[in-house]
Chains A and B, each alone.
Chain A
Amino acid sequence: MIANPIAEAKIEMAERPEPSRAWRRFWRHPMGGIGVAGLIFVILFSFLGPVIYHVSPDATNLLDLMHAPSLQFPLGTDQLGRNYLARVMVGGQLSLIVGFASAFGTMILGVAYGLISGYLGGIVDMVLMRIVDILLTIPSLFLLLLLDAMFQPSAVVLTFIIVFTSWFPASRLVRSEVLSLKQRDYIEASRAFGASGWHIMLRELLPNVMGTVMVATTFQVAASIITIATLSFLGLGLPPPTPNWGALLSSSMSYMYQGAWWLIYPPGIALLMTMLSFNFISEAMKSAVDVRL
């Protein structure tokens, strides 16, 4: 038989290590696809939605205060007669952006800290991990509230505050992975070839903790979005003029007794959908790369 390049390529594919296999396992997991679809929907709703449904979220209609949902106002209006659908759409934008940005920052800081601590080991490791232990005893919401009240942050500052208060668990996770990877033969071999510490950390160890890191990042995006919403709900967090889900829910509470249910459900459902999507994705990822968190 003539050598068939396509067949050979297929064999090569099948023997390809982790990433592609993990990828396929991710899609085979029932939650993976649902989670990705949900997330795409939420992102489209928040970013493409306002482009298609072209109504200002800030325009007040003083003749249409507190309207229940109707054809003219699909999700009703709030206490200033603003179109609630437009507000809920726009409300997701900053939450999602800050959520992704802070999760990214958190992982960079946490991974760097964990890599260094785990790789160097010994006294450095002990001191660095002791610091993490101490920071973990303070409820992060308390820290966030403190920093938030002191800085009255913009979206960028808020991102940094979230990064500052949420990198500890990631650093622990990475460190414990590194501790076990460090013992493997290939690290020993790399060192025997004269590889520098940086090379071992970034080229040998980092790629092997990436699976864990990806799962943890997904968790962290969800956690960051919840944190932003919680802070805004508590009257801190993102600065007021642009609506966001947490703040929308916070103001909806004042009209709860008047039976304004349409103010309470939409932002909450949007948040819930976002959380469910991320949790589905991370669940599928967890089984795909086979890590335990």
Chain B
Amino acid sequence: MVRFIIRRLLEAIPSFLGICVFTFLLLHLVPGGPAEVAIGPHYSPARVAAVNRALGLNKPLYTQFGIWFWNLLHGNLGVSYSSNQPVLRMIGQALPHTLELVVAAIIVSHVLAIVIGTVQGYYANTWFDHAVTAVSFFFWSMPLFWLAILVVLIFSINLGWFPSGGITNVTASHSGFGSYVAHTVLPAGTLVLATVASWMRYMRSSMVDALVQDYVRTARSKGLSELRVVFKHALRNSLLPLITLLGLSIPSLFGGALVIEEIFNYPGMGLLFWTSAFNRDYPVLLGITVIVGVLTIVGNLLADILYGLVDPRIQYR
């Protein structure tokens, strides 16, 4: 197991390097540098040259990359062009919020998808199955941002149950945690609604496949209760595709979080990335892309390990 993890980590190094080089090149090969944005209306070639010199943008590309990468390895992601704050600190403030959103959504969404999908697979081709399929098609086709708008409209404006945006500072106020949770319910709930449909469909079809397997018949003929047969024997095996799917869907979850953070004005990485994209704030954009890439690699690794825990047939060497 430990050897497997070490091997996977070593394999991840080229991917990590690839992400760094690719993002760096993408940002620096494109015309229209940050100098124009930084200077604003008082634009002149001399000023642009001065800003470029100050930011080190006049050096050859490989030197720029070398400096940036060396600093990255030392935990220094540079300084934001637009806010003059260290990028690491900006990400450090935003990342926990995004992680809470994404992790909460993954957990709730999976519990829902597993329970509903299992029942749906068990009662395949009944009215229950068809009804759930219809509903899940609906949510699956729903544009995420429109879904978020509707959620705000219904639960915040019309019903007034939850705040529609922002986040309160946990450390500053005494009633912090409750209000923090209240602020997270709608954004996380939207992400759940957006993801649960496709996971449910996978769960359903995987359950349908599992229920006709020999080991299920064996379990039944041993006289086990239906509940045990379904939730112990069939479920465990039908979870496998879901785990792979989880690993693969991490990038799109971050993408979804970006849209949701923008709508709910939720101060996570997505919102930071969005504002930085408008400002052409290269260091922040680079930093976030690299961090998200690392999180995806880690997420895939966790998914692989989880795979082995659920499926006893897999042995790590």
Chain B residues in 8 Å Cβ range of A193: none
Q: Which of A69-77, A141-149, A176-184 contacts B (4 or more CB under 8 A)?
A: A141-149
Instruction: Name B27's contact: one of A146, A229, A256, A272 (CB within 8 Å).
Output: A146
Contacting pair B146 A130 (CB below 8 A) = no
In the complex, the answer to whether B141 meets A229 with C-beta atoms within 8 Å is: no
With A138-B251, A146-B277, A149-B278 already in contact, the answer to whether A249 and B15 are too (CB < 8 A) is no
- Other-chain residue from B141, B278, B293 in contact with A137 (beta carbon distance below 8 A): B293
For B15, the chain A residues whose CB sits under 8 A away are 130, 133-134, 137
Q: How many residues of A contact B (CB 8 A)?
A: 45
> Roughly how many angstroms separate A226 CA and B293 CA in the complex, as a whole number?
23
A-B interface contact total, Cβ < 8 Å: 122
Closest Cβ neighbor of B153 among chain A residues = A256
- Cβ of B127 < 8 Å from any Cβ of A? no
- Shortest beta-carbon distance from B285 to chain A in Å: 6
Distance between Cα atoms of A252 and B14 in the complex (Å): 45
Residue A122 is within 8 A (CB to CB) of chain B in the complex? no
CA A233 to CA B149, docked complex, whole Å: 11
Given A138-B293, A233-B145, A257-B157, A276 and B251 touching (CB < 8 A)?
no
Given A264-B153, A276-B138, decide whether A149 and B292 contact each other with a Cβ distance below 8 A: no
Q: Which residues of A contact B (CB under 8 A)?
A: 130-131, 133-143, 145-151, 222, 226, 229-230, 233-236, 246, 249, 252-253, 256-257, 261, 264, 267-268, 271-272, 275-276, 278-280
Which B positions have Cβ atoms within 8 angstroms of A?
Answer: 14-15, 18-19, 22-23, 26-27, 30, 32, 137-138, 140-146, 149-150, 152-153, 157, 251-252, 254-256, 258-259, 262-263, 273-274, 277-278, 280, 285, 288-289, 292-293, 296-297
Task: Pick 23 A–B contacts, CB within 8 A, sort by A.
Answer: A131-B18, A137-B293, A138-B251, A138-B289, A139-B251, A139-B252, A139-B258, A141-B255, A141-B256, A141-B258, A142-B258, A142-B288, A142-B289, A146-B277, A146-B289, A147-B26, A149-B280, A150-B32, A236-B277, A256-B153, A264-B150, A271-B143, A279-B141
What are the 9 A-B residue pairs with the smallest beta carbon separation, nearest first? Answer: A141-B255, A275-B141, A134-B18, A149-B277, A268-B146, A139-B251, A139-B255, A137-B296, A276-B141
